[in-house]
Structure 1
Amino acid sequence: MKKLFYLLAALLLLASCEHKELCYQHPHLKTVRVEFDWRDAPYASPAGMCVYFYPREGGNGQRFDFTGTEGGEVQLRVGRYVALCYNNDTEIVEFYNTDDFATHGVYTREGNPLEPIYGNAANYAPRADGSEEEPVRVSPDMMWGCTASEVEVTDEGLSCSCLPSGAEDADGGTQRDEYVITLYPHELVCTYTYEVRNVSNLKHMVQMCGTISGMAGTLAFASEELGTESVTVPFESVSDGVSTVTGRFYTFGHHPDNPDPHRMVFYVVMDDGAKYCYKDTEKLDVTTQVHEAPDFRHVHIIIDGLDLPQPIENGHGFEVDVDDWEVVEEEIKI
């Protein structure tokens, strides 16, 4: 009986020694290569990019950061995702709802209309009629980004839906590759430029800045939907010292369903210390130029004529007081 017992024990021991591979990761982790294709923004030059992968079943997204514009490798569990990306070198914008793909967005801090004027410490400035209650929000950084839907990581490979702008694919825009996802960033922020021609007495101008009203204050990345609340955006002005003032600033743009007009206001400091505010004239209502721009991402505004006064000689320099802006509402000469 003892021999039989030892024999059975040996047989059971031999059977238990059958080799089986052990797997400790459920679901499995896969190395995924993220690549950025810049055909939709050939002149973009961000210092780095970030990508968020959000599980389709819910839960917080995973953020991965890359230096430069090429991308790199990330570790993702087998599963289904949606993804978004944007440049991570911003300094001005602030983010909200980063844990939710649908509402992850961006905005800018509060400012004041005179912020672009060097050395200004005043908060008061006359505003365009109807925009007095609008928040003033500083201009954002330039941003590039895009989204990818139907991202699926399996034990066999990766598939996702992401195409460059204007491209069509018979397979619904699906990429299939062995753990490679290609993203096609494009401009997310609008670039506005303006030109004020035939400005009189410009050689006596010391400093100048302006604002534009009726702009959007937020941007949601997933849908690229703009906020409906109107904000006023301050911007810098550059003089050629002869007769032309130009400027360039970034903005999220204007919500197409927002009826608020876009009116520009200019704040001018002359070399005798006098300060003038130009507002509420027909030429400074640029609503039509903004709405009918051929490219809503790149809007160029032209204003013809701005009469700066001849300053008093031996002026006293620049000092900003609370109520010392002389409002000029000049009419268009017909």
Structure 2
Amino acid sequence: MKTIIMKNEERRVKNLFGRLLLSALVMASLAGCRKDLCYNHDEHALKVQADVDPEWMQEWENPYTGGEMQFDWEAIWKEQGWPREYDEFRPEIADGIRSIVYTEGAEPAVSNLENYGGLISMSEGVHALLFYNNDTEYIIFDNTDNSATATASTRTRTRGGYTAPQNHEDERTITPPDNLYASYVPAYLAEESLTPDGLPVTMFPRTYTYLIRYRITSGLQYVSQARGALAGMAERVYLNDGHTDATTATLLFDCKVDEKGCTAEVLCFGVPNFAYKTNEYTDDPEKMHFMLRLDVLLKNGKLLTFDRDISEPMRLQPRGGILVFDDIEISDEDGMEGAGGFDPSVDDWGDVIEVPLPID
């Protein structure tokens, strides 16, 4: 009987030892598994990321602080007799952001973010970072493989029967661009971290608006449609710092006919040879000439063209502002020619915007 009890006790001890050993093995296994699942998990691993936090500068014009005469349209807005408020023309923030990470000896890394920002990944080291909105329709981005040469331009626009004003015959005729923002970080040190580094970014405007008023003092009753052109403007803008070079273009745009004449809101890259950061011209502004045109299609089908040299007001407003073309007269002779019947042969009124097609 004693022998049986001893054997049962030995068996109980062995079973207890076995259970303890099994428990230890299970705990060790779970610990190893937990390590694999936690410390090597992507959420807890060391990464090289930046958490982009954009702030949008919603300005449609930037006053020029150089020269003898200053223009502050926000201060004198009501004096100009415009029925709308300054803030109505502020551009909306973009729908999204494209980021490009430039690393020496490597291809640029492109990613897209929401307009409120997000995470971008990169390797350890120093990088240059370029940001611009990715929701444009008419803008063309060129040379983005290099932050120093990345530019934005816009599409060619042609107009039947259009003849360029004097001194602007060699300019490309283009469509006004969309709202464009950009920001550039020349040197960003990226390091491994468990939490992404915060990166505040200011999205500066790279396009500006000119509010154009054509005042027709007589003959407005004969006007059917109107369109305009602004010659001598910058053809492109550099995304990294917002400067423009010497290349000029002519913007073709549509106008709205109202009770005083015609109006237009024209977006552009500003004037040529202008530095955004220093708010100064990079060449003598007296060399620059600008021309504002109005094409009027009368109800009888006759087309009239009016040109005005606006070099002086443009030099004082290199990045958006107000342009007034007043004292436009349409004679009764022009308005009543042809007994008021519309000429159906006038079929070149519409403009053509060239849209490049992808080539396989």
Question: Would the TM-score normalized by the shorter structure come out above 0.5?
Answer: yes
1:286 is aligned to 310
CA contact (8 A) 2:133 2:181 kept: yes
Question: What do residues 74-125 of structure 1 show as CA deviations (whole Å, max 9, x unaligned)?
Answer: 222111111111110001011111111110111112212x3xxxxxxx2x32
CA contact (8 A) 2:98 2:131 kept: yes
Change beyond 3 A, Cα 1:320–1:81: same
Q: Which amino acid is 1:106 matched to?
A: A
Deviation at 1:43, TM superposition (A): 5.4
After TM superposition, the score normalised by the length of structure 2 is 0.67
How many percent identity over aligned positions? 20
CA contact (8 A) 1:192 1:298 kept: yes
Q: Which amino acid is 1:72 matched to?
A: G
Question: What do residues 19-57 of structure 1 show as CA deviations (whole Å, max 9, x unaligned)?
Answer: xx9x9xxxx7423211112356585321111111111x2
Give SS of 2:48's match: strand
Aligned match for 1:46, one of 94, 107, 112: 94
CA distance in structure 2 between the aligned counterparts of 1:82 and 1:52, rounded to whole angstroms: 8
Give SS of 2:49's match: strand
**Structure 1 segment 2-151 matched on structure 2, within 5 A:** 29-38=47-56, 44-55=92-103, 57-67=104-114, 69-112=115-158, 114=159, 122=160, 124-151=161-188
Q: Which amino acid is 1:285 matched to?
A: D
Deviation at 1:156, TM superposition (A): 5.1
Give SS of 2:313's match: helix
CA contact (8 A) 2:234 2:271 kept: yes
1:309 is aligned to 331
The number of equivalent residue pairs is 263
1:167 is aligned to none
Alignment partner of 1:238 is 2:256:
yes
Q: Which amino acid is 2:154 matched to?
A: T
CA contact (8 A) 1:215 1:233 kept: yes
Q: Which amino acid is 1:237 matched to?
A: C
Give SS of 2:314's match: helix
CA contact (8 A) 1:104 1:221 kept: yes
1:247 is aligned to 264
2:21 is aligned to none
Change beyond 3 A, Cα 1:31–1:89: same
Q: Which runs of 5+ in 2 are unaligned?
A: 1-35, 41-45, 60-89, 273-280, 349-360
Q: Which amino acid is 2:295 matched to?
A: Y
Larger Rg: 2
Alignment partner of 1:190 is 2:208:
yes
CA distance in structure 1 between the aligned counterparts of 2:342 and 2:234, rounded to whole angstroms: 39
Structure 1 runs of 4+ off > 6 angstroms?
none
1:160 is aligned to none
CA contact (8 A) 2:208 2:268 kept: yes
Deviation at 1:60, TM superposition (A): 2.3
CA contact (8 A) 1:210 1:237 kept: yes
Change beyond 3 A, Cα 1:146–1:209: same
Q: Which amino acid is 2:297 matched to?
A: V
**Structure 1, 194-203 or 33-42: larger mean CA deviation:** 33-42
Give SS of 1:182's match: strand
Q: Which runs of 5+ in 1 are unaligned?
A: 1-20, 115-121, 158-176, 323-334
Give SS of 1:185's match: strand
Alignment partner of 1:199 is 2:217:
yes
Aligned match for 1:264, one of 292, 296, 310: 292
Give SS of 1:203's match: helix
Deviation at 1:232, TM superposition (A): 0.9
CA contact (8 A) 1:198 1:243 kept: yes
Change beyond 3 A, Cα 1:192–1:232: same
CA contact (8 A) 1:139 1:234 kept: yes
Change beyond 3 A, Cα 1:318–1:35: farther
CA distance in structure 2 between the aligned counterparts of 1:90 and 1:205, rounded to whole angstroms: 33
